[in-house]
Structure formats: structure tokens, C-alpha cells
Structure 1
Amino acid sequence: MAELDIALLANILQEAAATEILPRFRNLGAEDIRVKTEAIDLVTEADEAAERRIMARLAEAMPDALFIGEEGVAADPSLLDKLADADLAVVIDPIDGTFNFASGLPLFGVMASVVAKGETVAGVIYDPMGNDWLIAERGSGAWFCGADGSQTEATLAPPMPLDQMVGIANASYIPVEHRRTMLTNLAEVRLFTTYRCAAHEYRAFSGGHFHFLMYHKLMPWDHLAGALICEEAGAHVRRLDGSVYKPGQVEGGLLIAPDESSWQELRRKIFTF
């Protein structure tokens, strides 16, 4: 993409992790962690410092772009309204999996997506602990990229019968009556879980370890990069009503499966709400 070298974006995320995130991992004081909306929705000094650094570096590379960060939107929710119509925007999640990070669990990531005229055109998921990336540009496939320059194409799990499927189902924001139905239906699959970190859930799916991902709340910093990566890897990616997931949409749920047939079966038999 002409507006930004994807390698530069990947390196900016790596730099922010090295300077602002990893030095604070398991070194946060009580004053460095705050509750945002509820006890499991946290922000730390590392989130805010990393977002500031990423935004400053991106402003040098893309001075005309709109920058939307999770913590920036917490301060100014109106930023979200500008995403769908922006000529060029970069969406940042400085630490995905903040609850894990604040708990000292090494399961967190840094994510960025690039949106051009209402379409996600690039996505990057960086794993600070493994020092590697999962990257996609629209039309170019999805790739695991190592710090040594190695590249491996993302490979999905083959379709499986429903009773052998393993996947992610995040019920956190589903109304309780629908949650009961979904959790009962999930007894039909082999295993479901949540990492409380979309970055690693998308990585696991794109590495062939899961057969489905389901999310209800669709904040763009959590899902734009991962949804594009899964699509470029060959997955069937749709909102629960069957429509294409687009930047700016924060409701309607998201279901991802290796193929359309698996998607339809999961939607019909499991995610019926």
C-alpha cells in the first residue's frame, strides 16, 4: 500500500512494545492500573504510553491520516464516528489483553489496522513475547513473520464435524437470556474457550488450531486486523446476520469459520440468538 509500508507499521508496534510495554510487564504498581467500565475492563500506564508512542511515530509517517486508538476513543468517543468515512485511518490497540497483562499473564498483543475509504486494507498483530507478527494486506494473503525475516503462510484448520470443533466463544457482552441459550448449545462442540485476548485468538485460528471464533461486541481495534487476516487466510468471515463486517460497525456479532458450510452450521445450531 502506497500510503504506508506495512513493514514500517509492524516495526512501530515492535518498538512500542520494547520501550513501553515489556519493561512494565509484571512491574506495574497499583497506581498504574485503573478500571474503565467494570472490574475486567482495565487500562494501565503501559497501554497509554504505548499508544502515545505509536501515534507519534505514525504521525511522522502518515501526517494526513486519522488515528484511532482504544485509549483515545475512551477520552473522545466521537472519534469512532469518523472511521467509516475516513479517506485513510489507522486503528490501534496498544495492548490487547490488558486484563492478562495486568495480571502478569504472558498472553497479550499489539494490533493495528489500516482503513481506506471504508475498507480494511491491512492488519498487523504483534506478539511481544514471541517477537513475531501476523500480517495481511488485502489481496496478498496472511503471513506469520519472524524477527529473523522468515515468513510462513497462515493455514486454517480443515473443516470438522460439529462435535469435533474447537473454538472461541466470547459471551461477555451477550444479554443473559441469550447467553444461557448459547452456552447450552455449545455443549454440542468438542471444546470452547476464551483467552481474553483477541490478538492471540486470531493468531491461533490463523495457525490452524481453532475451527471457529465468535464475538459479540465489535470494537474496531479488537477485530478489524484479525478479521482481515482470517479472510485473507481463506476463512468465511461474516456478522451473525450474514453481512460483511465493515469498519465503523460495533454491533451485530462476528462469526468466523474455515468455510461457509461450517459457518452456516455453527450459526444455525450454536449461535442462534
Structure 2
Amino acid sequence: MTSPVDITTLAHVLRRAAQMEILPRFRRLGSGDVRAKSEATDLVTEADERAERMVKAEVSRLWPEALFIGEESVAADPALLDKLPDADLAIIVDPVDGTFNFASGIPAFGVMASVISKGQTVAGIIFDPMGDDWVLAERGSGAWLRRPDGETLRMRVTQSVALEDMVGMASTGFLPKDKRAEVMGNLAKVRYSTNYRCAAHEYRTLAGGHVHYLMYNKLMPWDHLAGALISQEAGAYVRRFDGSPYLPHHLDGGLLVAVDKDSWELLRREVFTV
């Protein structure tokens, strides 16, 4: 399926925003440039807001028919999300994914965008400002690492392994309290589990063939639509906890990503028993 939005053009929009509004502020944020939103670790910075405004202006110019949904736009107007299910075309942007890392001076953050057409995610882009490259996918066309000089490499997930040999990332902080301890105990069954506090880099790591699973409970579209599509196009099995496909309008139900269906079912049964 070809995206109605040229993803190379959109990818360069994200890169320009990072170069102009994000990177110049990395490790240079003033005391008034960082604010908490829902909790102390849920942050927004001057870089998030300025980058989103720049991307929104470019999207409005290039694709005026598209509904624009950005993380900071929704923070200001939550009703924006209600428009997504009925939109013929939408572009969803996370201007700085991994804001906690960015604000802490940790170089693990990204810029993400997804293209939604008639209720389906048809394209996803994850830009790494520090590495200056993209991981991107169009539905049915594979997942690709692309560098600014034009070099392009196909991305594929790794092969499956036994449960005790699996490594991956699990975001347990948003699990219900009565299930968090159980899941964290179950994670002793795998070889290694971590959390980058940055979905952009976690999805890139899985699509690049370096880990076997990802798990999330909180599903905001700017955090997961691009990465879920990229993971699928790299060969991963992506489903909500109940086994149903993950769609753009889903805000709950959890998400488990594994290198294949058998691994997904094993992890769901033995580890992520929510």
C-alpha cells in the first residue's frame, strides 16, 4: 500500500525540525524550558513545543487536507484525538519521544511520525537526531534504515529463541498496580529485560534484529503507531494483549511485540499475564 503522503518528504521535515529546534537545545535547556505535565517524569520542553509547531506548519503547507495530531497539540486540546477515527487522512507526530531522556541530557530520544489513511496506519517514520538517520516503512513495503546520503538497508527482526534466552524491553510503569509485581516477577523467566524510556529507540532496536520482544500498556498513538508498523514490516508479530490487531484509534488494551507468533504466545502466557 502506497502512502498518500510522500514519506521521504515527511522524513526530511522531521530532520529539519530536529536540526533547528531540538538539537540546539540538547543539554542547553534553561530552568524555565522544562515543565511537568501529568507527573514528575512526564515532561515537556521548549524543544518539544517549538519542533511540533514547525512540523505542523510544514504539514499544513504540504498536505493541507490532513488532520494533524501532535502530542503537545493534544495536551492543549484533548478533543483532537476524537477526530482521528473519522479522518480520511491524518499525520500523527511525536516531536521528542523520550523527553525525560532529552531533558536529562541522555542522548536517547527520537522524532516520530505516522500516516493514517481511512483508519489504517500506512506509513511510519522514526528519526534519530543523534545518529542522523531514519527507520521508516510503508505498509507492505518492508522496513528500512535510510541515511541522508541515500544509503538504504533492509531491516529484519532476529530469529526466535527459547524463553530463557530472550532479551527485550518492557514498560511496566503503566501496568495496573495489582499486576505490576506479578509481571516483574515473571520477567525473571527471560534472559534480560530493560527499558530505554524511549519507544523510538526500542522499536528501532527490535526492527534492527537486536531484541526479541517489546511490551507497553499505555497506548498513545504518537508513541506506538509508527513503531508498530515498522516492527510488522520488519517481520514482527504485533498484537494487543487480547490478540487483536493494534489500530490507530486504540488507546488501551496493551501492546506486545515479538519476533514471531509463537514467541508472542509464549511471552503472553508465561510473562505478560495482565
**TM-score if structure 2 supplies the norm length?**
0.99
The residue type paired with residue 191 of structure 2 is R
What is aligned with 2:218? 217
1:187-198 map, 5 Å: 187-198=188-199
Q: CA contact under 8 A between 1:170 and 1:216: conserved in structure 2?
A: yes
What is aligned with 1:260? 261
What is aligned with 1:30? 31
Q: CA contact under 8 A between 1:3 and 1:62: conserved in structure 2?
A: no
Deviation at 1:138, TM superposition (A): 0.5
1:139-150 map, 5 Å: 139-150=140-151
Deviation at 1:5, TM superposition (A): 1.2
1:244-264 per-residue CA deviation (whole Å, 9 max, x = no partner) reads: 000011100000001100000
Distance in 2, Cα, partners of 1:54 & 1:172: 30
The residue type paired with residue 35 of structure 1 is A
Distance in 1, Cα, partners of 2:33 & 2:183: 36
The 1:174–1:55 alpha-carbon spacing in structure 2 relative to 1, beyond 3 Å, is: same
Deviation at 1:3, TM superposition (A): 3.0
Distance in 1, Cα, partners of 2:263 & 2:241: 13
Q: CA contact under 8 A between 2:3 and 2:122: conserved in structure 1?
A: no
1:126-171 per-residue CA deviation (whole Å, 9 max, x = no partner) reads: 0000000000001110000011111111121110000000001101
Deviation at 1:235, TM superposition (A): 0.7
Deviation at 1:2, TM superposition (A): 6.0
Q: CA contact under 8 A between 1:65 and 1:90: conserved in structure 2?
A: yes
What is aligned with 1:68? 69
1:101-120 map, 5 Å: 101-120=102-121
1:56-78 per-residue CA deviation (whole Å, 9 max, x = no partner) reads: 00111100110000000001101
What is aligned with 1:175? 176
What is aligned with 1:204? 205
Question: 4+ residue runs of structure 1 moved beyond 3 angstroms?
Answer: none
Q: CA contact under 8 A between 1:165 and 1:189: conserved in structure 2?
A: yes
The residue type paired with residue 66 of structure 2 is A
The residue type paired with residue 88 of structure 1 is L
Distance in 2, Cα, partners of 1:191 & 1:117: 39
